[in-house]
Structure 1
């Protein structure tokens, strides 16, 4: 056969690829390759050093006797495959946790054989998911989880909390609720903030909570210096765990709020004039540290403080992990058992909290196990409100002014008038200098009070705004106590 009768190398590669892989696109237009019968998908344009689709093709072609092909032929073949895949149906890819059919949820165990956990209303089981139902995407942050143990009778949480130094039962039950929330692909969960004195084992406890979901290779990381690097790290994994936080800039605080409740980043694609790519993210977040300074109100509503104490008996890291790793299958099995039980339980959704989905999960946990999760969550929010007020002199001044108000009688002034009144109150008879960061204009004051609205409302001070013919105004109200209805006397 002459050279002109032979198939070009790009056609050999394209024919082989389409015979052994399924190609599809995601909503953002990225094309993925999925080996037939296997749930793991890889982006065809990935140039990763390990596990890229290009490497899969090269190895498969060589082992099946098709030969070794140069980069030009491979590029031309992948260009054709990508163009053909853009006409295929859209299917999402997921990292670690994914929704399935019939109300099920899947947990990727990160194994080479594709075994995953299917959590469904009737229980949970381990199997390889149908590639049409779930497509896993894996990165270098995707660790391997053990096969979970069956019939644990809740012993896994006993093992876990014996190794952690939580200061009270409230922190333990909130940690349980957070772990259950991590297995929900569409439920935003507040970020646990592990706090306590030096030597309380915050980093170790953080790793233990993280590794229940991410496996033994999961680890804590230092907070990136900017939002762009933070988003890149978040998009590549499921749980993002940041260690030893001591300071948080306003931009980083806003970015963490977006991570918890979900957002999208749009950037210009490299080497193009007008193309963009989208990165959507909503991930569980875990933080550790002794103190991060002043907490902004919007972030406080998305935090879950878990307090630790110094252990009475010190143990080495090697001893702790030697005890943790063998019981990880039991811990994971107990978590799956509890997740099934919680999801099968009906409960009313509390409406007074910002993170209503997590509050509902706590209510379900209480209905299923009677652990006081919702009360612990409300108490934690109350503590965080105290932290916000202690770090904000404007909030303290507003509360001082509110104490002089007649309950039930709102006060209306322009933002400039409120600024003058609050500034005089802070300065007092001593004519103290206004502190750094104090509002300098009525507009700045109005914006600050809007941020403080939830915190002040938790202290029975309501801030509202409106407009009349004379202009805009701010209204402050201290609601009157709700009268108690007299109980009729029993005969």
Structure 2
């Protein structure tokens, strides 16, 4: 009788698993299994029908002649392995992009052999990462990327710009900056919003940008109906692209802000009384649409408008995507070359931008290439401020009131007094009715003005709140020495 026949099945499975796999836990307590010398990790409790650790363990036992085991033995073995792994060191898992040792970052190519790209300011290379440096987590949204081409001499960027219908050179350099930002795991990047007339190829352009990072299986999706579905989709991939937005609800707007700059969601674990699990996320986001209606100020600060124009010559989908697939290795190689070049230079970080990390990236891109990305980014934010003001009657009224003040003057009132003042100014001598959505209480007005602070500040109107012995107050200050276009905004 062999030793395997003498030992209980669960011990055979446990011994085999520990000799062929590495088990570790993440900060939230999830236990992962990683095949020896392979960077891809799978949660051992995954109940997926394809590619689960349970399946790869069963296949390995069968192919190595250890036998076929029933579900009870597998469950008991995995229960023990999970308990033992909770005492191992903590290590994070990553989707698509990950930080590495010595200032390097990694790009998962989604290949079965585990080959990935190591990006460092001194260069990039294709290799299999050390499992203790990088653990990749893959989902059904993780597509395969081609092996990037070497020595492209930058022609891949030109090929990409020829395939896309960007309206201006400024738009092109902002798209390039966003793609470089997508390769950085710690750099929050604004969400590109592809706009343009009907037939400008917004959806096609969005797919092209996404597929540089996510592979040919990457695609656009319809906007989810609620925040929970959005978070679920975002957490399962790296770049999330939402197509054909025609309306932006306040809840969806707030959720998108969280996706861009990062947030954490806590939910009750299924089939438990009180246990919870944490879901942290910060992902690159891309949007397409002709118009989303009224933009909220906090989302506008996190957007990157990319305008497209209608192509002069139309091509079939088959021709276009066949060419794109052929040149994708060159495009990816050129992007990696440019990323290395950008990371090798130093630049000052703009201190006046909400997305300061992306502003710093644009400054690095300018230092490396002279494209003028930072100037283009500032101009895009200025245009978005105009859009916010045009769609917000309260912002327009606040600017009208500030226009009656002397430069450098301050005005302090309670929120209720401000509500009466701005309402009278909007109604005018004709006492026209207040519009739908106008603040109805001082508290609502205070909250709205807080959201509009960055937008109004960009037009030289500073809104601050505080408290004195007499209670809370809101103070409006008109900056002195405003540029002419700021004064005209009043």
TM range (shorter): over 0.9
In the other structure, the counterpart of 2:183 is 183
The CA distance in 2 between the partners of 1:482 and 1:190, in whole Å, is: 28
The CA distance in 2 between the partners of 1:22 and 1:217, in whole Å, is: 30
Deviation at 1:2, TM superposition (A): 10
In the other structure, the counterpart of 2:354 is 354
Pairs within 5 Å for 1:404-423 = 404-423=404-423
In the other structure, the counterpart of 1:238 is 238
Deviation readout 1:6-51 (Å, 9 max, x if unpaired): 2111111111100100000000000000000100000000011111
Aligned residues: 483
Cα 1:284–1:275 shift into 2, 3 Å: same
In the other structure, the counterpart of 2:91 is 91
1:17 is the counterpart of 2:17 = yes
The CA distance in 2 between the partners of 1:326 and 1:313, in whole Å, is: 20
The CA distance in 2 between the partners of 1:94 and 1:472, in whole Å, is: 46
Cα 1:52–1:409 shift into 2, 3 Å: same
Pairs within 5 Å for 1:64-103 = 64-103=64-103
Deviation readout 1:348-388 (Å, 9 max, x if unpaired): 00011100000000000000000010000000000100110
Deviation at 1:64, TM superposition (A): 0.7
The CA distance in 1 between the partners of 2:182 and 2:298, in whole Å, is: 21
In the other structure, the counterpart of 2:54 is 54
The CA distance in 2 between the partners of 1:7 and 1:134, in whole Å, is: 35
The CA distance in 2 between the partners of 1:121 and 1:202, in whole Å, is: 33
Deviation at 1:313, TM superposition (A): 1.2
Deviation readout 1:420-479 (Å, 9 max, x if unpaired): 110011001111100000000111101100000000000011111122221111111111
1:164 is the counterpart of 2:164 = yes
In the other structure, the counterpart of 1:145 is 145
SS of equivalent to 1:336: helix
Pairs within 5 Å for 1:335-346 = 335-346=335-346
The CA distance in 2 between the partners of 1:329 and 1:109, in whole Å, is: 11
In the other structure, the counterpart of 2:332 is 332
The CA distance in 2 between the partners of 1:467 and 1:337, in whole Å, is: 54
* Structure 2 residues without counterparts, runs of 5 or longer: 484-490
Deviation at 1:4, TM superposition (A): 12
The CA distance in 2 between the partners of 1:372 and 1:319, in whole Å, is: 33
1:134 is the counterpart of 2:134 = yes
Pairs within 5 Å for 1:7-46 = 7-46=7-46
The CA distance in 2 between the partners of 1:324 and 1:459, in whole Å, is: 43
SS of equivalent to 2:322: helix
The CA distance in 1 between the partners of 2:243 and 2:200, in whole Å, is: 14
Deviation at 1:300, TM superposition (A): 0.4
Deviation readout 1:42-85 (Å, 9 max, x if unpaired): 00000111110000001001101111111111111100000000
Deviation readout 1:306-350 (Å, 9 max, x if unpaired): 000111111111111111110000000010001001101110000
In the other structure, the counterpart of 2:320 is 320
1:257 is the counterpart of 2:257 = yes
The CA distance in 2 between the partners of 1:193 and 1:154, in whole Å, is: 25
1:470 is the counterpart of 2:473 = no
In the other structure, the counterpart of 1:397 is 397
The CA distance in 1 between the partners of 2:333 and 2:203, in whole Å, is: 24
The CA distance in 2 between the partners of 1:409 and 1:253, in whole Å, is: 34
Cα 1:5–1:334 shift into 2, 3 Å: closer
Deviation readout 1:103-122 (Å, 9 max, x if unpaired): 01000000000000000121
In the other structure, the counterpart of 2:276 is 276
Deviation at 1:173, TM superposition (A): 0.3
Deviation at 1:248, TM superposition (A): 1.3
SS of equivalent to 1:464: strand
The CA distance in 1 between the partners of 2:57 and 2:4, in whole Å, is: 25
Cα 1:400–1:4 shift into 2, 3 Å: closer
In the other structure, the counterpart of 2:486 is none
The CA distance in 2 between the partners of 1:159 and 1:115, in whole Å, is: 25
In the other structure, the counterpart of 1:106 is 106
Determine if contact 2:188/2:284 at 8 Å carries over to the other structure: yes
In the other structure, the counterpart of 1:487 is none
In the other structure, the counterpart of 1:6 is 6
What's the TM-score once normalised by structure 2's chain length? Answer: 0.97
Deviation readout 1:84-105 (Å, 9 max, x if unpaired): 0000000000000000000010
Deviation at 1:482, TM superposition (A): 7.7
SS of equivalent to 2:399: helix
Determine if contact 2:460/2:482 at 8 Å carries over to the other structure: no
SS of equivalent to 2:233: helix
Deviation at 1:168, TM superposition (A): 0.5
The CA distance in 2 between the partners of 1:171 and 1:402, in whole Å, is: 33
The CA distance in 2 between the partners of 1:57 and 1:223, in whole Å, is: 37
* Structure 1 residues without counterparts, runs of 5 or longer: 484-491
